[in-house]
Amino acid sequence: MDTISNTEKKTDKQESNETKKSSRKNDESSKKTEKEQDGREGFSNPIEFILTALGLSVGLGNIWRFPTRAYDNGGSAFLIPYLTCAILFGLPAVYLEMVAGQYQGTSPPIVFWRIMPFLEGIGWMSAMVSATIAIYYIVIISWVLIYIFNLCRGHLDIWNKCDNPWNNPTNCIDMLAQKQCANATIPSIFINGSCVFANKSITYTSATEQYLMSNVIRRSAGGFLDFGAINWPVFISMTICWLMTGLVIWRGMRVMGKISYVTTLLPYFLITVLFIRGITLDGASTGLYYFFLDPDFSKILSMKTWTEALKQLCFSLSVGHGGLMSMASYNRKNSNCFINAVILITGDTLMSLIGGAAVFSTLGFLAKQRNVEVSQVVESGLSLSFVVYPEAFTQMPVPVLWAILFFFMLFLLGLSTEIALTEVFCTCLYDQHPKLRNYKWLVVIIWCSLLYSLGLCFSFEAGFYWFEMFDEYAAGFASVFTVTLEIIVIMYCYGMRNFKLDIVTMIGPARNVFTGFFGAQSPFFLVDWLVISPIFGVILVVLSFLRDYPYQGDAQKYPVIFDILGWILAFLPIFMFPIFAVKNYLWFKKNGYPLKGLFMLQKPHVSYQRIVGKNKKKKKNIDTEREESDRKIPEFEPWGEVAFSGMTMVGEARFEEVDDSTGATTVLMPYVSRAPPE
């Protein structure tokens, strides 16, 4: 009897252990099923999502473009508009895009199609913005790769010399030899082998700046139509960068999440080290004062400064690019997107401020060495990162080590952003045509080859001028326009109340008064989304048209056609709106659906039953015509997924829905739709 009872106990224990194991497997499968049942690979954990999103946002824009814009717009005068825009526009925009993507679990075009099919083009606008930026963004990574290769060849000893074939000895300053001139009784500059007094009619440039412009970029003198010879180092570097980008995209989102541990965390460590070294340089306080404490109020009151600040913010945070919404769609449904948004904008702003401080502290050092003002140190804002940091390396112990680490950091930052920008369009394509996931390699090859071909103009001697065109027109206006339109559509077409309930469904209601005012459901966001952000965005979009032509005074290099082509480039993403509006109009008409359905919430939307059911409860007398129209709204999306029939429950996942009027909660069971029968 004892033996039997012991056997029964063992059997019970085995069964309980098996039950626990099976429940764990079910939990794991439910987590995987939520995003992977339809072929979408999700992130392994929330940290990977945050790091990958930071990798998209924190990039070359923080180390290269932010100091450039600050330098061109008065230093600290630029910080006030930038930080104001970050609070009033940046954080709300990031939060909104994350909520929209995470709640729907799909790419931007489908998100907006489900709100109104007429608006699908907004999602494709953001994908096109990413594509246009990806075309020219990779050329900066190519320059960085050239620096890394040249460092391995020992160029650190020659890029700060003035006796190379690419140097102009009449205005080239050897910064190492400049020390003896700067410390002389009467300060002078080291030119052509001796200390001489500065000639104000001559624009002096450092050896490192001439190395960049004349040896790496090889800018032609004839302007953007004078293509000249092909720049083989840039061509080869671009080819290598596109091959690496395509390889990572082909491997999928999980690989992107894994490499983000290196591509995102290492740059923060390196920029902190460079910042500490920068502030210890002689004259660093002058540069830091210019950056933080010397605002030019005429610049602050200039509309150009505010426009540039908002465009830089959108570029840096990658809002309006579709990337954040696409990445959030791979996130878990109950992930706290408010915390994610706060971490993202904090990390991005810190990188911009630390990177800017590191640059300007070194600018102060260079200004003291040359005996000039900080604003007169470099000829072009573009060359800040490629000139200022290399100057600092020559003053550090083991300069080769720091130089390689710095340019490796730039390479990682740039590549992580380039991968995310290029991947946006692929995600949009996969979500609308799921069968293409089986041919990822082919989609990636075709898409990367197309962008690579469009960017070949950068590999010629005129490539620098085309780079300036893309940077001026493609990176700013379209981003601001797109994200402003996204906010207006979600708030006024989908509805603020519906969007708020979507947030509560994912995150849950506020736990106390403090989180109610400062948390995910803060009234600040509702007011900002409804009023502040739309007004902010519309005003600055209008001001973009009223700005002066940025390249006046050199008609040979920048003729009128340069501005015309630039504006065509800026409006290229916006053309997606009417194209897809017409496409959906024809699809509705062809399938016999009422055209008013183009402007109605669609059944595949996750909240359709909640919203439509609530509206019917509120109205005692239901408009029969509207009810008939509801019945005629498509049961499936144009790409062939059923809204209600043939649905499959997603694992054991459950989400709470909160009734807006009573506060009662209802448990929702998410479903994944299957394709309709042939």
* 58 annotated among ligand-binding-site residues: yes
Torsion of Cα atoms, 569 then 571 then 572 then 577, to 10°: 170
Q: Rounded CA gap, 258 and 464, in Å?
A: 34
**Tokens of residue 291, six digits:** 């950056």
**Tokens of residue 307, six digits:** 């426009």
* 75 annotated among ligand-binding-site residues: no
Q: Rounded CA gap, 111 and 104, in Å?
A: 6
* 17 annotated among ligand-binding-site residues: no
Q: Rounded CA gap, 261 and 51, in Å?
A: 7
* 383 annotated among ligand-binding-site residues: no
| Those residues with Cβ within 8 angstroms of residue 589's Cβ, 6 or more apart along the chain or in another chain | 595
Q: b/e map of 340-379 (b: 16 or more CB within 10 Å)?
A: bbbebbebbbebbbbbbbbbbbbbbbbbbbbeeebeebbb
* 543 annotated among ligand-binding-site residues: no
Question: CB–CB of 160/390 below 8 Å?
Answer: yes
> What are the distances in angstroms from CA 392 to CA 111, 370, 581?
47, 14, 53
**Tokens of residue 424, six digits:** 């946006």
Task: For tokens 């402007």, name the residue.
Answer: 599
Q: Which residue type does 521 have?
A: Q
Q: Rounded CA gap, 100 and 106, in Å?
A: 9
Torsion of Cα atoms, 486 then 487 then 488 then 491, to 10°: 120
Q: Are strands 205-206 and 172-173 parallel, antiparallel or unpaired?
A: parallel
Q: Which residue type does 497 have?
A: R
Contacts for 661-666 with beta carbons within 8 Å, 24 or more apart? Answer: 663/509
Question: CB–CB of 132/572 below 8 Å?
Answer: yes
**Tokens of residue 467, six digits:** 């780079």
Handedness of CA 174, 177, 178, 181 (dihedral sign): negative
**Tokens of residue 176, six digits:** 């190492």
**Burial zone of 662 (CB within 10 Å; 0-12 exposed, 13-18 middle, 19+ buried):** exposed
Tell me the CB-side half-sphere exposure of residue 58, using CA atoms within 13 A.
29
Q: Rounded CA gap, 171 and 184, in Å?
A: 20
Residue list for the binding site: 55, 58, 62, 316, 413
Residue list for the binding site for Na(+): 55, 58, 62, 316, 413
